[in-house]
Structure 1
Amino acid sequence: MTFPQYVSHIAEALENRDGFTVAELTSFKHPHSKSHNFMRVPLRELEGYCSEELESPFDEVVAAHVRAIQAVGDNNYNEAFVCQCALVQSFLKGFQTQKDENWGLPILMSLSLDLRWLATQAEKHCDRSKEGEMLEKAADLLMSCFRVCVTDTRASINNTKRWGTMHIVNQLFKIYFRIKALHLCKPLIRAIESSSMLDQFKVSEMVTFRYFTGRKAMFDGDFKQAAAHLTFAFDKCHRHSRRNKHLILIFLIPVKMLLGIVPSPILLRKYHLECYASIAGALCSGNLRELDMGIKQHERFFAKYGIYLILEKLKVIAYRNLFKKVFLLLGTHQLPLQAFSDSLNYVDGSEEISVEEVQCIIANLIDKGYVKGYISHSHQKLVVSKKDPFPLCNTVLQ
């Protein structure tokens, strides 16, 4: 495709208000972005031809897009990102003036995808002192896109720009999680969850949204909410999207284990997450030593996804499970503290655990609600409730 043919196709699509075709022709996913014909178009000829053939602001949009293509061809991602920012700003000027119509939404979505991609590529080629700067600029521009969409409240449901809010929010989530600015997600989550259109967005967009809101809830310590969001994302994710299901399970599995639900070996093998196998086995048996070994064995993997400290919280569940086994074995509600000390020394074996240390562990379990009872210091016993002395984990984490 020659450059004049390319511009002609865009002009025709604009005349027909065909947002999908324009989006395709201004995307880096389209084959034209790899064409050598576009690399040789001089800047003066480019801008002059676009201004003659295309209506404003699309003359600026197309010119900036071709300049971005040329910059990528020269491996200059910083310049490409600058061009993409100018492109999005030019498009927004025209887009926000469109009343009671949203045919440009596919274009906005496509441009926002390329904006985040180019920001990410530019980050890889910039100085470490400027790390995160490009992504922050992209986020600021995406917030402008979000405001244009979310404030379009007067248009009819079919013509409103609010259909673009979920897509933009998901792009912002990807940036905020990358630059570790999770606190900026909260107002976006509130805006989407309070929307009257919440149940009408595309399933694919909802899956992405729930995936990130689940991760946010997990880092906030709201494990029940995290499990609900991540379970929705996993169940609704397309069955052929194995990679996406794998990513969701990386976070869903530890959250479920904190709620007392252990993954099956079949599930772990299916999604290549055998790194959780030894941890799940140790959790069920209450073997603290194996639990520690399982976490440390895959320490880099868990640290990479930010779940290492979450897995450390499983130790309290392991203590609870081990002590419940002692309770079932002895068959009494008055349990000698020495029995707990012996059980810990048996499964650990690395160093002697005293009765005093056991008292601290049990006191912590009682305080957190994993054990119902009290310690009788005079008799050196744990006296547990006759009704549900070891509550289910998912009832403890309210």
Structure 2
Amino acid sequence: MESLIAAAGRAVETRDGRALAALLDADARTEPLASHLRPRVAELGALCARALPEPFDELLASRLRALSAAASRQFVEAFAQQDACVSAFHRVLQEGGADWLLPALHVVDRAIRRLALQADAQLRARGEKADRLHDAVRILTRSFTITITDRAPLEVSKKWGALAVINELFRVYFRMNNLRLCANLIRAVDGTGFPPFEQFPMAQKVTYKYYVGRLSMLNANFTQAEEQLMYAFEHCPRESLKNKRLCLMYLVPTRLVLGKLASVRLLAKYALHHYAPLCAAVSKGDLRAFNEHKETHQSLYIQQGVYLIVERAKTIVYRNLFRQLHALIGSNKLSLVQMAAALSAVGVEMDVDELECILANLIYLNYVKGYISHQKRFLVVSAKDPFPALSAVALAP
């Protein structure tokens, strides 16, 4: 423990932010650090004060107390100590020329989020109010404000630390299901004073694109969502199978709505087998198989937050189904009564009025070129390209 404190003193003296970040990121669950911390927690303030100037001594002492409490599974106390650590960090960060501390800021911000989740779980288990994640929002928002409002020249600006803080806030907002607050973060990144996005570390860019892609998907901006999630997927390291799978979990249904189907091989590689029959049903226009699969996996899709996106893919199923009926009947003038009978023959019960509503919607969305004669109960489709390619259809939110 003494060697860790001494190393932190040297890191502060030499302004080595990466070294300080590595020390603050120590894991007290592993020996021998945990065994040294537990009996000497009361001494930490004095030990750190001898090796570090104010408020770095308070910063490190609070962090070590948080690690000790977490090692003993006292997560509520660990969160309180981490809160004191980040508060001390904010005081240092507000000084001029403190941009070297940004790597360490990422460490303490990540720790406050993780400890908030653990503390809330512990509080819920006790039957107490679990509100530490809300406190984490307050703390992280302070980090965001300090970084994003820095007026130092760009090369030494604390704004280079803003994207990592934004990603932590994304994680919290998604966890709290409070996505409306994400708009302010996106506006900050898109603002004129923000550093060039391309110059941030790849890991931060991938995380940002992943969350913005999910937001675009939920807002039915599927073209944007595909672009953002594809960026995140393609730039994840090959060995990061878990993160690549997370990207695909939302990229596959997004592309499905756009009429782009994932291969069975890709789905098998990332253990997303449940999407394979869904893609097959969309491709074949098999409405019955689509509905059965959706109902079977309803709880999974709701849990993943993609149920409404999967439901929206039904439009593509209808389009492909009616295209097959058109090819089977062999005429550009299709009787709605005949179409309903054909659907019934393949196990899809639908009366003529419902069929007419669905076709009207497909025509409105440009999936079908034609018109409906309501009085005569006919669908008349264009002689040329009656079912435009899905890539040519512009999806409206």
TM range (shorter): over 0.9
**Helix, strand or coil for the counterpart of 1:353?**
coil
Taking a change above 3 Å as real, the CA distance of residues 131 and 255 of structure 1, as seen in their structure-2 partners, is farther
Taking a change above 3 Å as real, the CA distance of residues 345 and 64 of structure 1, as seen in their structure-2 partners, is same
1:1-398, aligned counterparts within 5 Å? 3-29=1-27, 34-43=33-42, 45-97=43-95, 99-127=96-124, 133-157=131-155, 159-194=156-191, 195-349=194-348, 352-394=349-391, 395-398=393-396
**Structure 1 residue 342: Cα displacement:** 2.6
Question: Which digits, 9 at most, give the CA deviation of each residue in 1:133-175, with x for residues without a partner?
Answer: 2111111111111111111232242x21111111111111011
Aligned partners of 2:98, 2:51: CA distance in 1, in Å? 23
**Helix, strand or coil for the counterpart of 2:40?**
coil
- Structure 2 gap ranges (5+): none
Contact 1:260 1:392 in 2 (8 A): no
Structure 1 vs Structure 2: percent identity of aligned residues? 36
Aligned partners of 1:46, 1:152: CA distance in 2, in Å? 32
Contact 2:27 2:67 in 1 (8 A): no
Contact 1:288 1:347 in 2 (8 A): no
**Structure 1 residue 356: Cα displacement:** 2.5
Quick check: 259-268 or 383-392, which moved more? 383-392
Aligned partners of 1:302, 1:196: CA distance in 2, in Å? 37
- Structure 1 gap ranges (5+): none
**Structure 1 residue 330: Cα displacement:** 2.8
Taking a change above 3 Å as real, the CA distance of residues 283 and 122 of structure 1, as seen in their structure-2 partners, is same
TM-align CA RMSD: 1.9
Aligned partners of 1:142, 1:26: CA distance in 2, in Å? 17
Aligned partners of 1:168, 1:230: CA distance in 2, in Å? 20
Contact 2:123 2:130 in 1 (8 A): no
Aligned partners of 1:339, 1:396: CA distance in 2, in Å? 30
Aligned partners of 1:147, 1:388: CA distance in 2, in Å? 54
Question: Which digits, 9 at most, give the CA deviation of each residue in 1:16-68, with x for residues without a partner?
Answer: 1111111111124475784201111142x221222232101111011111211
Aligned partners of 1:11, 1:327: CA distance in 2, in Å? 77
Aligned partners of 1:139, 1:335: CA distance in 2, in Å? 58
Aligned partners of 1:89, 1:386: CA distance in 2, in Å? 70
Aligned partners of 2:44, 2:33: CA distance in 1, in Å? 17
Letter matched to residue 225 of structure 2: A
**Structure 1 residue 388: Cα displacement:** 3.0
Aligned partners of 1:298, 1:371: CA distance in 2, in Å? 29
Aligned partners of 1:390, 1:63: CA distance in 2, in Å? 68
**Structure 1 residue 268: Cα displacement:** 1.0
**Structure 1 residue 354: Cα displacement:** 2.3
**Structure 1 residue 90: Cα displacement:** 0.5
**Helix, strand or coil for the counterpart of 1:379?**
coil
Aligned partners of 1:240, 1:346: CA distance in 2, in Å? 48
Letter matched to residue 250 of structure 1: M
Question: Which digits, 9 at most, give the CA deviation of each residue in 1:344-378, with x for residues without a partner?
Answer: 213325xx422232112212222333222111133
Letter matched to residue 119 of structure 2: A
**Helix, strand or coil for the counterpart of 1:396?**
coil
TM-score of the pair, normalised by structure 1: 0.93
Question: Which digits, 9 at most, give the CA deviation of each residue in 1:174-215, with x for residues without a partner?
Answer: 110000010000110111123341121111111110100010
